[in-house]
A and B are shown apart, each in its own frame.
Chain A
Amino acid sequence: MVVTHRTYPNYNLWSGILFGIGMMAFIDEALFHLLLQWHHFYDRSTTEIGLMSEGLLHAFSWFATIASLFMLAGIKKRNGFWLKRWGGGVLLGAGIFQFYDGIVQHKLMRIHQVRYVDNLIVYDLVWILAAVLMIVGGAFLIKRTKQSGLKGSL
């Protein structure tokens, strides 16, 4: 069997999506929690369900980061790496994480806010806008790779 970059469309896509989620979670943790300290480790307004949801997202994204890199190593080894499709997955995954984080975690569950300042709305808008841009960009790339020669499979 001859392997091309189109042999593993699903692995390329899913490796990208999982890596995008993991990468964004890592940036969130390393940059906003630990370095800048914009986010609080724990916010007094956090509900129990909020804690559960945050813990689940944390555990899942930690797992996803590592698993996605093993998938990437696999498709690389088999010469099946498709940068455009993988990159589309990364953008989509990162965007979805950011969107969920900004809407559900920050606003609905009130786990913490982007930053504890007066003009919070500016930060929230930038946060959500960045998420939407990543989702649109990712979806666009994925659609492009779908049109260029894939039949049926995602």
Chain B
Amino acid sequence: MVIFSAVSAVIVYTWIGIRTSQKKRLRKWPYNRYGCWALGVVSMFLAFTLQMHGHSDFTMHMVVHLLLGMLAPLLFVLAAPVTLLLRFLPVTLARIATKFFKLRPVQFLTHPVVAAIVNFGGLWILYRTSLFEWMHMSTPLSILIHIHVFVAGFVFTSAMLYIDPVPHRSSFQLRAMVMVFGFTVHAVLAKLIYAESLSGVAAADARKGAILMYYGGDIVDALLISVFCLFWYRNSVFSKEKIPSEGVRE
């Protein structure tokens, strides 16, 4: 079932990509985006498989967290799925979709500050309240939390990178500051888990998981920061052309 969804996710994306690339008015869909999508699907698939097999192991839980909440969202954002969908949809439907992104509540939730609070605040609640304990007692709650971790990770990453169209963009400075504060919360959480453990988790296991959360998070963060800086680099005084005005790319 999981493998079937993974394969069809790759096939559908690739098919739409090839299909829309044939239209004359559109530029060719870049190859690296197919790669990002496929890798994103692979990390999702790994997260699901590990989740099913490594239930009681906290270190394994952290691997799943890194894949589901950080790496997969980053790869999916890099694959620009919304842009691809807008290329594919007939004009009337595409207009409705763009209207949706312009709605006040949607804009509010995708604002960098709000997205960061939902993403890192959610983690804080999960690991600093009894929620983590309850999660292991209820399957629906566990599923809900895993969905939240992925969706919040995706919204946060896309609010930092602006690869898909965003009606109102925040400055590089604001997004850089939001990232620094967000990563701070992540690092502090990892050290608190190391120091105080979690109820229902053996201390040694919690420590291993916490170190993995800390340094593993750094690796994915470095990827995210690099892509962010690349966009800044292209927009800054170092760009070949005159500095383009923000928000008119693509």
Residues of chain A whose beta carbon lies under 8 Å from any beta carbon of chain B: 8, 11, 41-42, 44, 46, 51-52, 54-56, 58-60, 62-63, 66-67, 70, 73-75, 77-78
Contact = CB atoms under 8 A, between A and B. Distances in A.
A88 B225 CA distance: 25
Given A74-B237, A77-B238, A55 B232 contact: no
B180 A63 contact: yes
B195 to A, nearest CB: 5
A73 B233 contact: yes
Contact of B183 (A52, A54, A62): A62
Q: Which of A46, A67, A75 has the most CB of B within 10 A?
A: A67
The B contact surface, by secondary structure, is helix
A75 B236 CA distance: 11
Contacts of B222: 62, 66
A59 B181 contact: yes
A62 B218 contact: yes
19 contacts: A42-B191, A42-B194, A44-B195, A46-B191, A46-B195, A55-B191, A56-B184, A59-B182, A59-B186, A59-B221, A62-B183, A66-B226, A66-B229, A67-B229, A70-B233, A73-B238, A74-B233, A74-B236, A75-B238
Given A46-B195, A55-B184, A60-B180, 7 more contacts: A41-B191, A51-B191, A51-B192, A54-B187, A55-B188, A55-B191, A70-B232
A27 to B, nearest CB: 15
Interface of B: 176, 179-188, 191-192, 194-195, 211, 214, 218, 221-222, 225-226, 229-230, 232-233, 236-238
Given A74-B233, A74-B236, A63 B188 contact: no
Given A42-B195, A74-B238, A51 B229 contact: no
A109 B191 CA distance: 15
Given A52-B188, A70-B230, A74-B233, A59 B183 contact: yes
Contacts of A52: 184, 188
B176 A51 contact: no
Contacts of A42: 191, 194-195
Given A63-B179, A70-B229, A58 B184 contact: yes
A56 B237 contact: no
B225 to A, nearest CB: 5
A60 B221 CA distance: 12
B211 A41 contact: yes
Contacts of A75: 238
Nearest to A61: B180
B181 to A, nearest CB: 7
Contacts of B236: 74
Contacts of A78: 238
Given A51-B191, A66-B226, A59 B233 contact: no
Given A51-B188, A66-B222, A59 B180 contact: yes
Nearest to B190: A55
The 9 closest A-B pairs by CB, nearest first: A74-B238, A59-B183, A55-B187, A55-B188, A70-B229, A55-B184, A59-B184, A56-B184, A66-B225
Instruction: Please indicate which of the listed interface residues A42, A60, A73, A77 has the most CB atoms of chain B within 10 Å of its own CB.
Output: A42
B227 to A, nearest CB: 10
Contacts of A77: 238
* Most chain A beta-carbon neighbours within 10 Å: one of B179, B180, B211, B221: B180
A63 B238 contact: no
Given A42-B194, A59-B181, A67 B188 contact: no
Contacts of A41: 191, 194, 211, 214
Nearest to B238: A74
A59 B181 CA distance: 7
